[in-house]
Amino acid sequence: MEILVCVKRVPDTAENEIEVGPAGADIKRSDLVYSVNEWDNYAVEEALQIREKVGGSVTVVTVGDADSEEVLRREMAMGADTGVLLSDQAFKNSDGLGIAKILQGEVLKGKYDLVMTGALADDGAGQVGGMLAALLDYPYASLVNMIEVQDGKLTVGREIEGGNQEVSQIELPCVLSIQTGINEPRYVGIRGIRKVASVEIPVRGAGDLGLSPDAVGAAGARVKRVDYFVPPLGEGAEILEGSMDEQVEKLIDILKSKGGIK
């Protein structure tokens, strides 16, 4: 099975404190460490396991700049056969649809049976996979937490509310967005990355993908972030006074307003 996995380089939420930068134009990036989006990593691991079972190849692709290469190399160190970087000035500040169009260009250059993305990334939008599927007119399933391949047919499980799993059969070629916990990704260390340090990673721009600059990038974006901000928060815990009954009443009011009581 020929598999393409779309990955993204994001600030690591586990290891960073995200703060709003001056005038809310961006988050403060000076101290941030980046890594591959956690969901995308699960997707790559899943692709590798499918390849181990039925053969084929795994390609990882990202839309970004020279820095994004490190994420491709990490996934190649994990076992992906090829990495492709889609980079162009024209791609900057694309919205989700723009990214999807760029990725569509890459999918059409190859013959992929299966395209995977992570279900969510740093902006929590969870949109690129579904958009890509619609652009390609492929069937789609989101929040996939189980994939079974049998005789070239796919059965997938989706994570739905209540911790339940919705099982479906889906035709190939298709796009799947992958939920965390679908597998246990193998470890990639510094050594693994050194081993792939000099492997060639092709770079493709708007022209190579047959995209017109006003379809992507800031020019083509319909959804734009205006600014970042932090809603005002109180300082430390507000300790409630009064009798136990009074405190309980107050607590419940506060909890209700904060969505702590459904």
Minimum distance, C-beta of residue 218 to other proteins, in the bound complex (Å): 12
CA angle 186, 188, 194 (to 5 degrees): 150
94: exposed, middle or buried (Cβ count in 10 Å: 0-12, 13-18, 19+): buried
In the complex, least distance from residue 12 CB atom to other proteins, rounded to whole angstroms? 6
Q: Which of 58, 61, 80, 100 is in the footprint of other proteins by CB under 8 A?
A: 100
- Contact call for residue 111 and other proteins (CB under 8 A): no
* Least Å from the CB of residue 231 to other proteins: 6
Strands 57-63 and 82-86: parallel
Size of the site for other proteins (CB under 8 A): 97
Which of 54, 167, 199, 210 binds other proteins (CB under 8 A)? It is: 167
Which residue from 158, 182, 206, 217 is in contact with other proteins, where contact means CB under 8 A?
158
Residue 115 β-bridge partners: 4, 175
Residue 220 lies near other proteins (rule: CB under 8 A): no
Which of 107, 112, 157 has the alpha carbon at shortest distance from 132? 107
In angstroms, give the least distance from the CB of 201 to other proteins. 21
Q: Identify the three-state secondary structure at position 245.
A: helix
Of residues 23 through 52, those in contact with other proteins by CB under 8 A are: 27, 31, 33, 35
| Cα(89)–Cα(231) distance, integer angstroms | 33
Burial (CB count <10 Å: 0-12, 13-18, 19+), residue 192: middle
Quick check: 233 binds other proteins (CB under 8 A)? yes
CB within 8 Å of 64: residues ≥ 6 apart? 8, 9, 71, 85, 86, 87
The verdict on 234 binding other proteins (CB under 8 A) reads yes
In angstroms, what CA-CA distances link 11 with 22, 73, 76, 194, 205?
Answer: 18, 17, 20, 22, 24
Q: Please give, one letter per residue, the 3-state secondary structure of 57-110.
A: EEEEEEECCHHHHHHHHHHHHHCCCEEEEECCHHHCCCCHHHHHHHHHHHHHHC
115 binds other proteins (CB under 8 A): no
Q: Which residue's CB is nearer to other proteins, number 203 or number 221? A: 221
Determine, following the binding rule CB under 8 A, whether residue 191 of this chain makes contact with other proteins: yes
Question: Which residues 56-85 are close enough to bind other proteins by CB under 8 A?
Answer: 78
- Residue from 89, 150, 212, 247 binding other proteins (CB under 8 A): 247
Q: Is 232 in the site for other proteins (CB under 8 A)?
A: no
* Using rule CB under 8 A, residue 188 touches other proteins: yes
Q: Which is nearer to other proteins, 111 or 191 (CB)?
A: 191
Q: Out of 29, 169, 202, 210, name the contact with other proteins by CB under 8 A.
A: 169
* Shortest distance in whole angstroms from residue 13 CB to other proteins: 5
